[in-house]
Amino acid sequence: MVTYHAKAGSEAALASVIARQWAWAIKLKLVLETPHTLVRGNEQGKTYFVEFSLGETPIFLTPLRQPYKTLGRK
């Protein structure tokens, strides 16, 4: 389970990064394609995403960090 907190105004960009990260993880065979669920919520006016999946290995590996550079993350 992974929780992402979106900055105001960047919700769509974050959703896009999460989708690309998932596609990369499948391509690299780091996760099982199913089950996978992405839930979007709002708490006190702040948007968050919670992702549930089963992985072959931990999802946050160096090859998957590339999508975050799109949002200015390292």
pLDDT in tens, 21-45: 889 888 888 788 888 899 999 999 9
Asked if residue 6 has pLDDT above 80, the reply is yes
Q: What is the mean pLDDT of residues 1-13?
A: 92
Residues facing residue 50 across a β-bridge = 3, 39
Token pair belonging to 42:
């709002």
pLDDT in tens, 40-64: 999 999 999 999 887 665 545 445 5
Torsion sign over Cα 24, 30, 32, 35:
negative
| The predicted structure's pLDDT at residue 70 | 58
Domains of the chain by residue range: 2-69
Asked if residue 7 has pLDDT above 60, the reply is yes
